[in-house]
Amino acid sequence: MSDNERIKLEPSWKQHVGDWLLRPEMQALSEFLRQRKAAGARIYPPGPQIFAAFEATPFDAAKVVILGQDPYHGPGQAHGLCFSVRPGVPVPPSLINIYKEIQSDLGIAPPDHGCLLPWARQGVLLLNAVLTVEESRAGAHQGKGWEGFTDHVIETLAREREGLVFLLWGSYAQAKGKVIDARRHRVLRAPHPSPLSAHRGFLGCGHFSAANRYLQERGQAPIDWRLPPRAQLPADPLLA
């Protein structure tokens, strides 16, 4: 088996960014993850879900990119999509504020769950800057190599695609998005939806309607930001 065949990444993403995973720093990250797991660390999300954002939203299907920082670090929360949790897990505070803004902006009532997979399947890439974390240790895997890979993902999207909407919430996401050419894409910035900062301009930002206006102006279908009730969520292999 070749090195390229060992990369477990959705095919369109493997074509565009897969080579990065063969770099020495990514090999070092892989060894770090193996060592932490061998030492008994609980790493989230589970291995098969680390690249779920790419599986859910292929390269050419992406319309909107939402940047998070690192996965949730509580048991059962993270499943590979930023801000999202599996059905049945309590909705985290930042996502509660995202739902509040959607209700204010578009009149859509919050759902009874925090699973954003239906957005991802429509073309919303829910990308964390760091793709793994350890239980109860926020930021435990920052600076271990993930950031270079996700920087490369953003740079590649910004260079090879046109007409994407980037939602950059908080100073961390905004710094990571500096490579995006605002002449080729719509870049929307606001404070982070965390309860610590949402009142400073995230609530009232109007990003969800603005994203759809931009897509429609370019002849693309808007995102349906409504989420079905938990009982009506479609079966999806990424939730198996």
Q: 70 an active-site residue?
A: yes
d(CA 149, CA 128): 11
Q: Which two tokens stand for residue 31?
A: 């060894």
Q: Which two tokens stand for residue 13?
A: 């993403």
Q: Which two tokens stand for residue 146?
A: 């993930």
> 19, 70, 105, 112: which one is catalytic?
70
Which string of DSSP letters, residue by residue, matches the chain?
A: --HHHH--S-HHHHHHHGGGGGSHHHHHHHHHHHHHHHTT--EES-GGGTTHHHHHS-GGG--EEEEESS---STTT--SSTT---TTSPPPHHHHHHHHHHHHHH-PPP-SS---HHHHHHTEEEEESS--EETTBTTTTTTSSHHHHHHHHHHHHHHH--S-EEEEESHHHHHHGGG--TTTSEEEEE--SSTTTGGGTTTT--HHHHHHHHHHHTT-PPP------GGGPPP-GGG-
Give me the active site residues, please.
70
